[in-house]
Chains A and B, each alone.
Chain A
C-alpha cells in the first residue's frame, strides 16, 4: 500500500528562473551584436528556440512557475534588469533603448488598466505621453520645481486634460467612444503644431533631470569606472516600472480589479450587482492616463527633446498594438511585446524604413491567428500554488 500522492504538487521555481536567465542572456546578446547578419541570425535563433520550446512542451512549466512564484521571480527579474544595465554601463545607445522599453512598458501598463481591465478604449495614448513630456519641457525650463515632482505633475496633467474627455467617453460606447479619443489624438497633434508657445512643429529642448543637485546629464565617475549618464535615468525608469508593475498587479488582484473586470465583461450585470459603472470607468481612465503621463514626463527628460511628430495617432496605434500583441490584461506579456516592438526594429537597421509596415502586418497576423495575444492573461489566482 503506497502513500497517497499530494493532490496538487506546487510548481517549482526552477523553470521560471531558467527561463528568465535565458531571456536575459539572450537580450544581452541581442543588444550587444552589431553586424546586421549576426543580428538576423540571433533573432532567427530566438524565434526557433521559442518554437522549439513550445514544441517540446517546455513552456507550460515556465508559466506555472511564474504563476506560483510571481513575487520571487519579480525580484529576480529586477536583478536581471540591473545585470543588463551594468553590462552596458558605458553604452549610451543601448541604455537609451532599454530605458525606452521600460518607459513604454509603463505607458502600456496605463493603457492596460483602461483597455484590459475596465474596457475603456483609448486611442490617444501617445497624446497623454506627449502631455507628460511637454510638461517636463515647460516646467524644467520656466520653473524651479523639483524634477521628481515634475514627473508627478506630468502624470496629473495628463489625467486632468484627459478628464476633459470623460463626459463623452462615459456617455458613448464602442465605436462611438473610439472616435472621441481618435479625434482627441488628432486635435492634440494639430494643436502642438500650431501653438508657438509650445515650440510649434520644431518642438522644444528639455532640460535634463536633477535631483538634490545631482545632475543626471553628467557621466558618473566611480574611481576607475565610468558609467554612462543614462545609468541615472536607467535607475529611475526601473524604479518607475517596478512601482507601476506592482500597482497594476495589486489593482488586478484587489476587489477594484474584480469590479473593473465585471464592468468590462457585462455592464448590465455589473449594474445589477450595484456597481457604479461611471465611477470605475473614471477611475481606470484617470489612473491609466496618470501612469502614461508620468512615463512621458520622464521620457521627455531622457530624450531631452519633444516635438509634435513623436506623439501622433500612429504612435498611439503602436502602443495599442503592443497591448494586443502581449495579450490584453497580462503585464508580463506587455514587457515581452514592448521588447519585440521597440528593440527588434532598432537593432535591424535594414528594416527601419519598413517598421510601420511590419508592425501592422504583425498585428494583423496576431489578431487573425492568435487573437488572445502572445502571452494571454491567465485566470486570476489568489493563493500561490493553487490549481488552475
Chain B
C-alpha cells in the first residue's frame, strides 16, 4: 500500500470518527445527567440535517447571495431547532419516565426516533428519496504525493475539533459546566446545593442535540447527500461508540467514535471482502462488550450494589 493511499484511509477514518464522536458525546452527556439513553438521538441528527437543507432551499430560492452566509444560516437554524427539540423531548418524554424501568425510556425514545424518521419520509417533499446536499465549502485541494488533501475535509475536521474543545471548555471552565458535572456526580447533593436540576437537564439535552445537528450538517457536507435513514445508522454507531468508550465519560465517547471508525476502515482494508466491514465492526463491538462489560473507560460509578 502506498503512503498516499494510507493517508487517504487515515483521512476517511478521521472524518467518520469525528462524526461518530460528536454523536457519541451526546449519548454520554444525557447518560451523565439522567442515567438514561435517549435513543432518538440519531434521528434528531437526521431532522437537523433536513432542517439545514430546508433552510438552504428557502434561502436559495429567496436569492441570498454568499455561500458562507447560507452555510452559517443553515448551521444556526439546524442547531437552534434541534436544541429546542432536545428540550421538548427531555421535558415531555424523558423526565416524566424517570421512575419507570430503564427499558421504558429506551423504548419510548426508540419509538420517538421512528416517529421522527417516518415523519421525514412521509411528510418532507419526496422524503423517501435521497436528497442532494449542497457542497458549500471551498473545493480546493493540495496534492501531497498521491494523496489529495481536500480543503473542505480539513475545515470540517477543524470545526468538529473546535466543537469538542468548546464542549470541554464549557464543561470544565464555566459555572454551567460545573452544574452539569455536579448533577452527573450526585443529583441529590446538587439539588441541596441549590442547583436547578430540571434546568440543568434541559440545557444538557439542548447541548447534546445541538451537537447532533452539527454532526448532521457535517454528514451532509461530507457525502453531499442525505436521506431519512442516516440518523438510525449514525445513532446506533454513536450509541455503540459511547458504550465501547464507557457511558458517562466524554473522553470515552470520543475514543469510542474514532475506534469504531478505525474498525470500519480496517474492515475495508482487510483481505476479506470489504462488504463485510460493518459486520466486522459490529462483531468487534460485541466482542469488546464481552471483554469489558462497562466500556473501555470505566463508568464513574461502577459499583452500585
Contacts and interface: CB of A to CB of B under 8 A. Distances in A.
B127 to A, nearest CB: 12
A35 interface: no
Most buried by A among B96, B119, B279: B279
Contacts of A368: 93, 96-97, 108
Given A171-B289, A187-B279, A121 B103 contact: yes
Interface residues of B, number: 42
Contacts of A357: 114-115, 118-119, 122
Of all A-B residue pairs in the complex, the 8 with the closest CB atoms, nearest first, are: A360-B114, A194-B275, A168-B290, A357-B118, A187-B282, A360-B111, A171-B293, A168-B289
Interface in B250-280: 273, 275-276, 278-279
B240 A183 contact: yes
Given A171-B289, A357-B118, A321 B279 contact: no
5 contacts: A171-B293, A176-B294, A354-B118, A361-B115, A371-B97
B114 A172 contact: no
A360 to B, nearest CB: 4
Interface in A258-283: 268
A57 B96 CA distance: 29
Contact of A194 (B232, B236, B276, B287): B276
Contacts of B286: 165, 168, 180, 183-184, 187
B203 interface: no
Taking residues whose C-beta sits less than 8 angstroms from the other chain, chain A's interface range is: 35 or more
B5 interface: no
A19 interface: no
Contacts, number: 118
Given A367-B104, A368-B97, A371-B100, A194 B279 contact: yes
A175 interface: yes
Contacts of B285: 179-180, 183
A360 B118 contact: yes
B157 interface: no
A364 B278 contact: no
Nearest to A173: B293
Contacts of A176: 243, 247, 289, 293-295
A364 B104 contact: no
Interface string B68-106: 000000000000000000000000010011001011101
A363 B119 CA distance: 16
A364 B111 contact: yes
A58 interface: no
B206 interface: no
A175 B279 CA distance: 21
B214 interface: no
Nearest to A172: B293
A287 interface: no
